[in-house]
Chain A
Amino acid sequence: MSALYSRAIVIEDEKQIRSFVCEALEQAGCQVFEAETGAQGLVEAGTRKPDIVILDLGLPDRDGVEVVRDLRGWSAVPVLILSARADEMDKIAALDAGADDYLTKPFGVGELLARVRALLRRKSRLAEDGGAVAVFGNVTVDMARRIVTRNDEPVHLTPIEYRLLCALLASEGRVLTHRQLLRDVWGPTHVESNHYLRVFVGHLRQKLEADPAQPRHILTETGVGYRFQL
């Protein structure tokens, strides 16, 4: 398991939640460091060289979004956000600030571990600097030659669809907010044109998903953005 020997920092003020999250991570083979406050968490993150940070958005001392922003100033460590459903805007702000994924309370341990593993896998894959070919379902994307095939048949993508696919592939396993995708694909002047993004994601699904109404790879995070899953 890739979680083995990984270092995790859990920043959560609620003692019981912290303890079961730590317990689960330890059982999965992680070395866990706990922090009760944002300030303490940042210190831990600076000294422990973690492989993943699990951060509660509702901390007593600091705004969780600020903690993410601070952390991103000097570290690319994957960040998993724990948040309540009502805090949609906070969640989006945290993701925009550079968090990688989120879990809505209440969450199960299985779900937590799955997300942690996905982020750790992604981290190790980035370290390996995998090839220029991505494969998901029956679709192959050859980024060096800019060729997309589905069931070995070439699929024609428009330039924007291709750019969008590349942006999704590059952030595989992470949640990308509407704003991030719009900025990456259309440029910083189009960050409010959410409907464009949705229409083009629809196009991509039509061309690449077996059932566009029940996608398996280009997943919707309603109200937040998208997640690409291999």
Chain B
Amino acid sequence: MLNRPRNYLLAAGACVTMALVALPLRPYLDLVNIVMLFLLTVFLVSWRLEQGPAVLAAFLSVALFDFFFVPPHLTFAVTDIQYLLTFAVMLVVALLTGQMTAGLRKQARMARFEEKRTRALYEMARALSGALRLSEVVAILRDFLRDVVQADAVLLIPDAHGELRPQDGMRVRYELHLAVAVYEGNADDRRASKTMDGVCYYPLRGSTRIRGVLAVAPLNDEVLLQEDHPLLEAVASLIAIAVERLHYVDVAQQAEVQMASERLRSSVLSALSHDLRTPLTILVGLADTLNLSRPPLAGKQKDMAEAVRDQSMRISGLVENLLDMARLHAGQVKLRREWQPLEEVVGASLKLLERALEAHPVRVELAPDLPLLEFDAVLIERVLCNLLENAAKYSPAGSPVEIRAHRNGAMVEVSVGDYGSGIPQGRQDRIFDMFVRGAPESPMPGVGLGLAICRAIVEAHGGTISAANRAPSGACFTFTLPVGNPPEIIEESLPPEVAA
């Protein structure tokens, strides 16, 4: 842009040149037409230059016109008083023309400026849509601000703990408490987000929540122009969209990684279970085959074959427990919850443990008003089996085992009780932990997984499990299942003979 003194000189020069050009034409032209030439000069000056030179040109034109062209010549004196009106009109027209052209030019310049910024904004939006990392977003943002508004910026994005962290742009001296206020939505007033040193804070508003804060500081310590605020707000929303998009890209990637690792874990578990189960199946089968071979085995060999079979079955149970525990811990077990009567799963558990419970009379007392419960039958059967197996294992032959269930408020309580020696004092709470057993050096086989599995299953159903000793002897394990909202069963219409 041309500097100011030069513009004034140019304006003066233009007027003087016009006077010099018009001087030889004085005899041939009317004064009215000379006025027109001076007006043209003022117009040209105000079109090309600024308003100041235009004003100078207006006054200078009037002066030159008076001095050289209005009789008497070469003096500012005026003989005919009507020329004063000519001067006044000429001055007013010149000044108005100058002002209007200057205004128009300013508007045109503003329009060009805005167009340039809008184009820059579009280009930034396009660049942002291709950004794959936050660092790229920051680079694009800083390039834009440097080129368009002569500012620098820092992007503050919350980390995993919700604390705002700067992403590059360390030269911006932002104040964290102001940024946090904007991030938490406590600084709606834009003035509140603007500090003394000219740093402005803009929230990055995503579709669901504020994704971070953009802090903009002018380069060269210039205070940011007021007109830049709408632009910076537009920039902030573009950045917000980019940051949000990157966030969701991240979420999607994490989900994919998690799914892949879960798939891997489940395939490892199922391969393991297959590889362990196959040899165990063979062992059990071969031991049975030996046992049933003809001619029949002698007493001792028969016992040994039976022992092989029993031990293999035990290992198999152990493997199942370990795999179940691994699955439950990995959160792999999807509950297949269905509404069903408790009675059915109790019956199934007793049937499964027929042999283990041979030596114990079983008492079942289920309250008649038990509602349907929503649970995974296979898993609750496992809980009952583990509890019943323990009861049979830790109580003397011939002593009864009891299963009771009744409703207690929003829960149904199911308990399995025995008449054994009970749980050693002080271990009631710990026996549900993994690899913890009632009596550490018990002669009974086991590794202390059964109750841990019970707890994992019951808790997955939203219930609790506890153990207690009861008087005079024996242990009682109680677990609860939530009642929920059982579906209504529409009973069929009664047949006519009963209805009548």
List residues of A whose CB falls within 8 A of some B CB. 14, 16-17, 20-21, 23-24, 27, 58, 84-86, 88, 105-110, 156, 158-160, 194-196, 198-199, 201-202, 205, 211-215, 219-223
Q: Which residue of A lies closest to B403 (CB)?
A: A213
**Interface stretch (choices B64-72, B208-216, B288-296, B469-477):** B288-296
Q: Is the CB of B344 within 8 A of A198?
A: yes
Cα A17 to Cα B343 with chains together (Å): 36
Cα A223 to Cα B494 with chains together (Å): 31
Q: Is the CB of B289 within 8 A of A24?
A: yes
List residues of B whose CB falls within 8 A of some A CB. 270, 273-274, 277-278, 280-286, 288-289, 291-294, 309, 312-313, 316, 320, 323, 336, 338-341, 343-348, 350-351, 362, 364, 366, 372, 376-378, 381, 487, 489, 491-492, 494-495, 498
Asked whether A220 and B489 contact (CB < 8 A) given A106-B285, A106-B313, the answer is no
A91 CB, nearest partner CB in chain B, Å: 11
Cα A43 to Cα B491 with chains together (Å): 49
CB neighbours (8 Å) of A21 from chain B are 285
- For B340, give its contact among A106, A159, A198 (CB under 8 Å): A198
- For A222, give its contact among B270, B372, B377 (CB under 8 Å): B377
A196 CB, nearest partner CB in chain B, Å: 6
Cβ-Cβ contact count across A and B, 8 Å cutoff: 126
Q: Is the CB of B366 within 8 A of A24?
A: no
Asked whether A20 and B343 contact (CB < 8 A) given A14-B278, A106-B316, the answer is no
- For A195, give its contact among B274, B338, B346 (CB under 8 Å): B338
Cα A113 to Cα B132 with chains together (Å): 64
- Interface-centre pick from A196, A213, A219 (highest chain B CB count, 10 A): A213
Q: Is the CB of B288 within 8 A of A110?
A: yes
A204 CB, nearest partner CB in chain B, Å: 12
CB neighbours (8 Å) of A109 from chain B are 285, 288-289, 291-292
Cα A110 to Cα B313 with chains together (Å): 14
Asked whether A20 and B289 contact (CB < 8 A) given A106-B281, A199-B489, A214-B351, the answer is yes
Q: Is the CB of A214 within 8 A of B344?
A: no
Cα A110 to Cα B489 with chains together (Å): 41
Q: Is the CB of A215 within 8 A of B347?
A: yes
CB neighbours (8 Å) of B491 from chain A are 158
Q: Is the CB of B289 within 8 A of A84?
A: no
What would be 11 A-B contacts, judged by CB atoms less than 8 Å apart? A17-B282, A20-B282, A24-B288, A27-B294, A58-B274, A105-B277, A109-B292, A198-B341, A198-B344, A211-B364, A215-B347
B39 CB, nearest partner CB in chain A, Å: 93
CB neighbours (8 Å) of A108 from chain B are 284-285, 288, 309
- For A202, give its contact among B278, B343, B350 (CB under 8 Å): B343
Cα A160 to Cα B346 with chains together (Å): 24
- For B347, give its contact among A58, A88, A105, A214 (CB under 8 Å): A214
Q: Is the CB of B487 within 8 A of A85?
A: no
Cα A159 to Cα B498 with chains together (Å): 12
Asked whether A107 and B281 contact (CB < 8 A) given A194-B338, A195-B372, the answer is yes
Q: Is the CB of B289 within 8 A of A85?
A: no
- For B492, give its contact among A23, A160, A194, A214 (CB under 8 Å): A160
Q: Is the CB of B288 within 8 A of A156?
A: no
Cα A68 to Cα B351 with chains together (Å): 28
Asked whether A195 and B285 contact (CB < 8 A) given A201-B344, A213-B364, the answer is no
Q: Which residue of A lies closest to B269 (CB)?
A: A86
Cα A159 to Cα B495 with chains together (Å): 8
Q: Which residue of A lies closest to B279 (CB)?
A: A16
CB neighbours (8 Å) of B282 from chain A are 14, 16-17, 20
- Interface-centre pick from B347, B377, B498 (highest chain A CB count, 10 A): B347
Given contacts A86-B270, A110-B292, A194-B338, 13 further A-B contacts (CB under 8 A): A24-B288, A58-B274, A84-B273, A109-B289, A194-B340, A198-B338, A202-B343, A212-B343, A213-B346, A214-B364, A215-B347, A220-B351, A223-B336
CB neighbours (8 Å) of B376 from chain A are 223
Cα A108 to Cα B378 with chains together (Å): 22
CB neighbours (8 Å) of A106 from chain B are 277, 280-281, 283-285, 312-313, 316
B495 CB, nearest partner CB in chain A, Å: 7
Q: Is the CB of B350 within 8 A of A214?
A: yes
